[in-house]
A = this chain, B = another copy of it.
Amino acid sequence: MAEINRQIHLVSRPTGEASTDNFRLIEKPLGTPGEGQVLVRHHFLSLDPYMRGRMNDAKSYAQPQPLDKVMQGGTVGVVVASKHPDYKAGDNVVGFGGWQEYSIVDAGIPGSLRKVDTSKVPLSAYLGPVGMPGVTAWYGLMKICQPKPGQTIVVSAASGAVGSVVGQLAKTRGCRAVGIAGGADKCAYVTRDLGFDACVDYKAYMGKSGDPKSLYQALKEATPDGVDGCFENVGGPVLDATLARMNAFGRIALCGMISGYDGQPIPLQQPQLMLVSRLTIEGFIVSEHMEVWPEALKELGMLVATGKLKYRESVAQGIASAPEAFLGLLKGKNFGKQLVKLV
């Protein structure tokens, strides 16, 4: 057992764009689990866009990430030592251990730790398609978009951990799945590998010389029958374009607006379309809908185990790489689920 537990702390809050200066690598002596506790060695750390919001000290749905504390985040790992009757060394577990190599978990707290079966589903997938991002996709699509066969579903950040699941699930419901992603390589992956019907490369239209109207035009060609359900991860001009393609009684699941995470204004240009098209828009956070997790994880696990749900990972190596990998995620440099491998 290592003597040292390396951690990443948040040491300052970003003004505007986040930078590596906001983080610091800290070495702490590794403790031992007390009664009811479990020592977990993290194999993978999950990096997710929502973490950017928590770095601010602003009104948000979650408490801000405290300064000079370990960055919070999802983890998968293996039990090293246990003083809780339900866990033993060698168990594969999912938890919320944060940006560090080890964590000591009060395993009796509901939701703190969950044993997972890695015989058919790889451990890392429990941070992606069979974890929080997968359930996020499932909830937003099934409960908010409520897809019907023959409908068109549009999802932004389509090659990402959430978006990739949204489109593939939409296909299982008999929908036309249309992605929006940044770059030709991501779009090719979305259509060829993930089986979406179409994908619009927003970077081809939204560059510095770009014109939002051309993005709309490209989306129009990809959605000849309009859009019935939108799963939004990006916001800004991407959402403006989709809004203008929505059919009457369309439904929008608002999951993220990563285009505004650094505080830049991202006004919605034509909110009157919500009225004209009688849309329903719902913002949500998957952790507030724990009731759907069992049903969602069952389907997602089955789909991954049988190879029907494809996914891709960007893996950074070592805890020290976490800040840079996270900043890259915010800029769309990742390709699929962004992980940090710690073993």
Q: What is A's interface to B at a CB cutoff of 8 Å? A: 53, 59-61, 235, 239, 248, 254-257, 260, 265-272, 274-285, 288
Contacts and interface: CB of A to CB of B under 8 A. Distances in A.
Given A248-B61, A280-B281, A282-B280, A256 B275 contact: yes
Closest 10 CB pairs of A and B: A267-B267, A275-B283, A268-B268, A268-B271, A281-B281, A274-B283, A278-B283, A280-B282, A257-B272, A254-B275
A107 B255 CA distance: 49
A265 B267 CA distance: 11
8 contacts: A61-B276, A61-B278, A235-B271, A235-B272, A260-B272, A274-B281, A280-B281, A281-B281
Contact of A288 (B271, B278, B280): B278
A330 to B, nearest CB: 15
A59 B278 contact: no
B276 A283 contact: yes
Contacts of A275: 61, 254-257, 283
A42 to B, nearest CB: 29
A255 B59 CA distance: 28
A235 B268 CA distance: 12
Contact of A271 (B60, B239, B277, B279): B239
A291 to B, nearest CB: 15
A265 B271 CA distance: 9
Nearest to A257: B272
Contacts of A61: 248, 275-278
